[in-house]
Structure 1
Amino acid sequence: MARFSLRQLEALVAVADTKNFNRAADYMYLSSSTISNLIAELEDRLGFPVFDRTTRKVSLTVAGREFLAYAVSVLQQMKVAEAAAIVLKEDNVRIVRVAAPQVVAATLLPEIIAAYRVTHPDVRVHIVDSSVISLSDQIVNGTADIAIGPEQQVNQGISVRPLFESRWILWCHPEHPMSTQSEVSWSELRPHDICAPGSDHEQSFANILNTLEPSARFQVSEIVDSVTTALGLVSQNIALAITPEFVNQLGLHKHLLQLPLVQPTQSRRYVLYSQSDLWVSDPVQGFADFIEQFVAAKKLS
């Protein structure tokens, strides 16, 4: 594995930003020769040049441009780690990291954190944005302590605790032809443009589609990463959107209409992921228990 230092990555970013070794040296309070040596060492460890150099211009190579994004990400994460260390040192705050997909991170999780903070002000809960399929990976690789999201197959050593089930609903614009209906069957979706948030949603519909006659099966016309993007399309009457019901605060805020999806009525199970074979800290265990209590009291659907 290539071993490179944070100083080398900082030099890479400085030269890329300033497009000049001398200006990068001034920015980092180093000599030009030191900057040159840092870049040379980095290139030696990577095995490819990151800059094309001429007497007049310095520019990133194709590989250098690709690697720069990773270098920036590493440095940003280091800043987050440094900030966390300062908080832990000065305030004696305990940290819990919770991975969640956007649909949970934007709706349910902030509400849980706010309620928990009332009785546990010494525990700081950080949200780790994640795709649905990467939730258990976030715990395995140490990025998160626990995770909340739709039920998925998990890695070995991950335990799954059921939280709630939320039925699928349809969002439509008040002027859409379906707005006058009290409910919508899945087969009625066939002639319409359907948007689903999350790359795993199409797979989630597979069991539902298999219950329909082939002539009645619909296709998702657009898959987007964010539920807010999907609801944005609905707000302009461009498409219909399918989401779990528990995110209804996002759609109602945009004055959209929500309709139950029936024939069949289906729901999606949301669970809590955690380590099953490792000791967890008291703050992590305490917050995990609180999540279960909060969801049970809220009676989510």
Structure 2
Amino acid sequence: MLSLRQMEALVWIAQLGTFERAASRLGTSQSAISKRINELEHTIGFPLFERSQRGSKLTPRGEEVLEVARKMLLLQDDIATIKAGRATTMAKRIRIGITELTAMTWLPRLTAAVRDNHPGVVLEPEVASGRTLYESLQSGLLDIIVCPEFIRDTNVTILHLSDVDFAWMEQPGLTGLDEVVPLQELVSYPLLLQGGRSGAGSHLSKWLLSERLVFERVRVTDSLMATVGMTVAGLGISHLPRRPFRHLLESNKLRIIETKPLLPDIPYVAILRQDHPSSFVLTLATMMQELCDFSEMI
């Protein structure tokens, strides 16, 4: 069985160069140090040192174990610090899941605010579709996610962040529709749709079903930016958030198709599990409510 005493012996042998010096530093005998290392090598199944009369040199795999040993001793120090009631330098890692739109707009503001106000917290972001993020949250792989609101479960807490204004967009001149048009006039054009695992794509699909609209051709992608690129290329029409892509509208690379009825706004939310053990996750969700801004691309 691995022990901290074995790890301590390994670290000091590596630092001082010999078993004898490590024994002196730890106030024990050389035979006791040798016993700890022998027990550790027996447990892991391979030698840690290339022993010689000139000293003890770590094997390549021994160097890997040394890094783990150092981390274990640091964790021991952190536990001792917590026990003494003092502040620990140990980083709190929060795994957040976000969709592309958040990554391209206000994620830098969030990470900067966490860094400035909570220096002991490290955010570990994952970018994926809404449904993929939700599955990772439920399985415990993520601590909190930001995505379009598309599901309600009793075991999660959902905090509203913002309603995002979406519009139909095209390459200028693709449809030739210059005035406000009934939705039915769009169904003959290819629809560029984010896939079923996308929260925004799921919202649109449900809304089209409620309006009894069926597009003749649908091209599916899981990427928001791929949808934008395909729209700019004139491969079809798409529903995109207005404000983040206004630079493409102003440069005449995209054009809004005005329709009746208008596309509904899509609510974006923060979702966390109610049984999450860290109180900071709820603090982070509150920060998200204050900082979220989907209007500006980075």
Partner Cα separation in structure 2 for residue 247 and residue 280 of structure 1: 33
CA contact (8 A) 1:231 1:251 kept: no
2:130 pairs with 1:132: yes
1:294 maps to a residue whose letter is L
2:141 pairs with 1:164: no
Deviation of residue 91 (structure 1)?
Answer: 6.5
Describe the SS at the equivalent of 1:126.
strand
Instruction: Name the residue aligned to 1:263.
Output: 260
Partner Cα separation in structure 1 for residue 207 and residue 226 of structure 2: 24
CA contact (8 A) 1:162 1:271 kept: yes
TM value normalised by structure 2: 0.58
Describe the SS at the equivalent of 1:205.
helix
Aligned pair in 2 of structure 1 residues 231, 110: CA closer, same or farther (>3 Å)?
same
Q: Percent identity?
A: 19
Describe the SS at the equivalent of 1:144.
coil
Instruction: Name the residue aligned to 1:237.
Output: 234
Higher normalized helix content (fraction of residues): 1
Instruction: Name the residue aligned to 1:204.
Output: 203
Deviation of residue 299 (structure 1)?
Answer: 8.2
Unaligned runs of 5+ in 2: 1-67, 79-87
Q: Provide the alpha-carbon RMSD of the alignment.
A: 3.6
Instruction: Name the residue aligned to 1:226.
Output: 223
Deviation of residue 159 (structure 1)?
Answer: 1.3
Deviation of residue 210 (structure 1)?
Answer: 4.2
CA contact (8 A) 1:136 1:154 kept: no
Q: Trace 1:16-31 onto structure 2 (pairs within 5 A).
A: none
Aligned pair in 2 of structure 1 residues 135, 194: CA closer, same or farther (>3 Å)?
same
Aligned pair in 2 of structure 1 residues 150, 202: CA closer, same or farther (>3 Å)?
closer
Deviation of residue 273 (structure 1)?
Answer: 0.2
Deviation of residue 147 (structure 1)?
Answer: 0.5
Instruction: Indicate the larger mover: 150-159 or 284-293.
Output: 150-159
CA contact (8 A) 1:170 1:241 kept: yes
Unaligned runs of 5+ in 1: 1-81
Deviation of residue 160 (structure 1)?
Answer: 1.1
Instruction: Name the residue aligned to 1:47.
Output: none
Partner Cα separation in structure 1 for residue 108 and residue 188 of structure 2: 37
Of 89, 93, 96 in structure 2, the residue corresponding to residue 95 of structure 1 is 93
Describe the SS at the equivalent of 1:164.
strand
Describe the SS at the equivalent of 2:287.
helix
Instruction: Name the residue aligned to 1:293.
Output: 290
Partner Cα separation in structure 2 for residue 104 and residue 253 of structure 1: 22
Please list the CA deviations of residues 67-123 of structure 1 after superposition, one character each: whole Å capped at 9, or x if unmatched.
xxxxxxxxxxxxxxx9xx799999743322111223333334334323443444443
TM value normalised by structure 1: 0.58
2:186 pairs with 1:189: yes
Aligned pair in 2 of structure 1 residues 210, 144: CA closer, same or farther (>3 Å)?
closer
Aligned pair in 2 of structure 1 residues 103, 116: CA closer, same or farther (>3 Å)?
same
CA contact (8 A) 1:186 1:261 kept: no
Describe the SS at the equivalent of 2:238.
strand
Partner Cα separation in structure 2 for residue 138 and residue 208 of structure 1: 26
Describe the SS at the equivalent of 2:140.
coil
